[in-house]
Chain A
Amino acid sequence: MLKSLHTVTDPLLDKNPVTVHILGICSALAVTTSVSTALTLSLALIVVLTIAAGIISLIRHHIPSSIRIIVQITIIASLVIVADQILQAFAYAMSQRLSVFVSLIATNCIVLGRTEAFALNNRPLPAMLDALGNGAGYAIVLLVVAFIRELLGAGTLMGFGILPLVAEGGWYQPMRLMLLAPSAFIILGLLVWAVRSARPAQQEPREFTPYAPERQVQP
């Protein structure tokens, strides 16, 4: 029980796919201008990832190693299409706001990374728990970034006004920078900095020592 609990909780902070492995940055940048879009995409990713991990784990003994990527992508892409169609059917406005990013879950490195690295070698239940944990870890980062960006960029949260805007007689002047892509990089960078300061084990060793040539005599 405790071990399977760790499979879910480890990816939340200690093995977070976004802050440790820097995966899934593209969508973390694109959909985090508001909390509601970030939440929707996170939920879609968690559902797709968990079901994909379960299916792939179930048939893991039957997948020939040489075509395993094709099989995985086919399963993931089918699930993504289902998720996209459900969103279009029941939440059309939201699917318009998310535009292509729901379909781009198929290319999210976290999804293929977890199915390839974990689901292919583990039983269905641990595989789904691992997928759930990694999806939740991704969702946490997305929600933190979206919280900061929507609050500072528009003065709202989930569309409700929090900070009184100058345009409506308040004091808060929205920061346009927060609605532009660079701010997501900056916030993500600060977040990684903060997490790695709190957990020094996540800091990477130097990949190489700086090139120091022998001192040469001037010709």
Chain B
Amino acid sequence: MIPARLAALATHRLTRGQLPVLAGLLLPLFWMLVTQGPAVLLRLALIGAITLGWQILFARLRGQGFGLEGIAAATIVALLAPDTAPAWQLALGTSFGVVIGLLVFGGHGRNILHPATVTLAFLMFSFTSEAYRITPELPIWTLAPAALLLLASGQANWRLLLGALIGLIGLGWLQTVPEALEMAGTGLFWLVLLFLLADPVASAATNASRLLHGLLFGLLTVLFLQTGTAISTLVFATLMAAIFAPLLDAMAIAVNARRRERRHGR
């Protein structure tokens, strides 16, 4: 079905499975460009240049290769960072996110958190100005191609998305938080869900723990939403859930090992 040449390109060493991610980000980027003007491209250029600079430096120092994952992370940060943020704040946040979130671990595939999550959490934790409380306006339809591309290519697992929706809507309904239900219909929520939470490197790795990881994210989102703004809620819920992902993996593996042991009468 998929032409062999396209398959070869998608799995190439340089692209490392980032083609669906970048393709999915095109429409939200285009929407931001139309509604906000060219400032978003300027932001993307700055953040992208800093990311690339650090990646090249680490590639030279440590001999570790890099692909397009830095540009993907830079695009997500450029979309979610406020347009009034000074350049030095973005530069500092990006440097922190890329180095501490990605490169110290040895590059893409070895990191435990998504570098864009780390960058955004750093910026929102550090700077208290109003700008970081403004929710970027993204219609939900701009994320439709991304959802299709990521689900079809296996970049985003449906169990994570299902768990997140159950957690969000379930606890939102139980605690009667109307914002939680509204959030499920915003483009921002789906952007964070598809690109940051369901990132295959930063999310849980077994089917059972993927469901739990999504569920944890949904529950945390509802809890945080009662005290914070939409964007900071989503970023910190993603950060928290991703930190617990390896634990959920270990639990799922332990349960599986126990079950198999019992099957053999031990």
Chain A interface residues toward B at CB < 8 A: 166, 171, 173, 175-178, 180, 186, 193, 219
Contacts and interface: CB of A to CB of B under 8 A. Distances in A.
A219 B127 contact: no
B86 A171 contact: yes
B127 A176 contact: yes
Contact of B126 (A166, A175, A219): A175
Contacts of A175: 126-127
A177 B100 CA distance: 15
16 contacts: A166-B129, A171-B86, A173-B89, A173-B127, A173-B129, A175-B126, A176-B125, A176-B126, A176-B127, A177-B122, A177-B126, A178-B126, A186-B100, A193-B104, A219-B263, A219-B264
Residue among A177, A178, A180 with most chain B CB within 10 A = A177
Nearest to A171: B86
Nearest to B96: A186
B227 interface: no
Contact of A177 (B125, B263, B264): B125
Interface string B76-119: 00000000001001000000000010001000000000000000
A175 B45 CA distance: 24
Contacts, number: 22
Nearest to A175: B126
Interface string B124-149: 01111100000000000000000000
Query: DSSP majority for the A interface?
Result: helix
Contacts of A166: 129
A173 to B, nearest CB: 5
Interface string B250-264: 000000000010011
Contacts of B89: 173
Contacts of B86: 171, 173
A119 B100 CA distance: 40
A171 B127 CA distance: 13
A155 to B, nearest CB: 13
A131 B55 CA distance: 43
Contacts of B128: 176
A213 to B, nearest CB: 12
A83 B128 CA distance: 38
A118 to B, nearest CB: 35
Contacts of B100: 186
Residue among A173, A176, A178, A193 with most chain B CB within 10 A = A173
A206 to B, nearest CB: 15
B131 to A, nearest CB: 10
Interface string B181-206: 00000000000000000000000000
Contacts of B129: 166, 173
Nearest to A153: B126
A175 B93 CA distance: 11
A219 B260 contact: yes
Nearest 8 pairs between A and B by C-beta? A175-B126, A177-B126, A177-B125, A176-B128, A173-B127, A176-B126, A219-B264, A173-B129
